[in-house]
Each structure stands twice: as C-alpha cells, then as structure tokens.
Amino acid sequence: MILDTAERLFAARGVDGVAVRDLAAATHLTASSLYNHFPSKQSLYAAVLERGLRPIVELIGTGWRDGLRPDRVHETMDAFTRHLADHPHLARLLQRALLEDGDGADSVATWIEPMYREGVGVLRATARDAGWPAEAVPYLGVALFGMMFAYFTNAPALRRFALWSDDPHAERALAQQRRFLAQAMTRMLGPRPRRVPAKRTRRTSDG
C-alpha cells in the first residue's frame, strides 16, 4: 500500500515534488506513523526503486546469457511486461528521474548503471552474431531501453488522446505488447541467416 502510493506520487511529481505530508495523507497515515515505516522520504524512494528495478536488473543479467533463443526471448519479455504491468507507474517514475536533476536522478543512477552494464554485456556477443559492429552496441542498448519502457511510459497519453482502442493495461493489449517486443528483438538481434550460394547450372554443348 505505502510503496504503491509512493510510486504513483513520485511518478507524477518527482521525488522533490512530493512532501512527507503528501505521502502520509495519500496513505491515510500520520507523518509520524509513516516515519515508523521509513525513516525519511529518500529511504521510501529507495525502497520503491529497489522493488521496481532490482527484478529488471536481474532479468536482464540472466535472461539471455546463453544466447538469444526464441523461447528465452519470449520468456524474458513475458516476465518484463508482467512486472511493469504490476507496477504501472514505474516507467514514468524512471523517465521523470532521468529528465530531472536532484535526488531522484542520483538514486535512479545507482540502478541504471548496473542495468545498462548488464544489458550491454549481454548485447555484445548477441549483436556481433546479428551483424552489428561493436561501436553500435551502446546505441542498441539505448534503443532497446526505450522500446521496452516506452509503452508503459506513454500508456496514459494513449488513453487520453484516444489513440488506443484498448486499455493499455488490459490483458489483450499486454499480450500484444509481449509479442511485439519478442518479435522486434529477435529481428534486431537474432543471428543473420546464412546465405546459400546459388547453384550454377552446367551448360551442355550440342556438339
């Protein structure tokens, strides 16, 4: 309850824009009662990030260490999508923190760095097999990061401007998002098909 509410408020206003009294009121607690659970607003923010980002860091680190097999891609994207669906404000919280200066950006950086490091480590061998040059790996990391989080970051806008016929968090829409991510990643990072040399036809002379 406390973490869910804090995640929503931090995503909407940023950590610097939320006061302890706001958190207490939204969780139906007094400020002193909230301090019994978390000694400071920053410790509550750290707990929100821990709950939201640690599973993603672990998922990235272990998901594709044995290669980009289609079954592993689908399995990883399923777990990733379900996690963000369970924490629907996490992607916007992350985006806000990355765009702003302050305590939120510093706290998120402690998670983004290992997330990026794990992701790039997995990408290096995979990208090479897919035909990407080594210098493209950092760009692939940024592109994949955006592709994976953007759906949940933009879900409120999709609904607000009637650009989405389904509720973005409905199971049918989430299933489509999982399929899209798996297919897009397989096409971007799957091994290049080997070219089969064309067979030469032997000419026969009439004489």
Query: For the segment 140-194, what is each residue's pLDDT rounded down to a tens digit?
Result: 888 888 898 999 998 878 777 766 777 888 899 899 999 999 899 888 887 655 5
For residue 198, name the pLDDT band (cuts at 50, 70, 90).
low
Q: What is the CATH number of the domain that holds 129?
A: 1.10.357.10
Quote the mean pLDDT of the chain.
Answer: 84
Q: Is residue 35 part of a domain?
A: no
The tens digit of pLDDT for each residue in 35-66 reads 999 999 999 999 999 999 999 888 877 766 66
Q: Is residue 107 part of a domain?
A: yes
Q: Is residue 112 part of a domain?
A: yes
Q: Is residue 78 part of a domain?
A: yes
Q: Is residue 198 part of a domain?
A: no
Q: Is residue 8 part of a domain?
A: no
Max Cα-Cα span within the chain: 104
Q: Residue 81 sits in which domain range?
A: 45-189
Q: 172 Cβ partners below 8 Å, 6+ apart?
A: 166
Domain count, the chain: 1
Q: 85 Cβ partners below 8 Å, 6+ apart?
A: 152, 169, 174
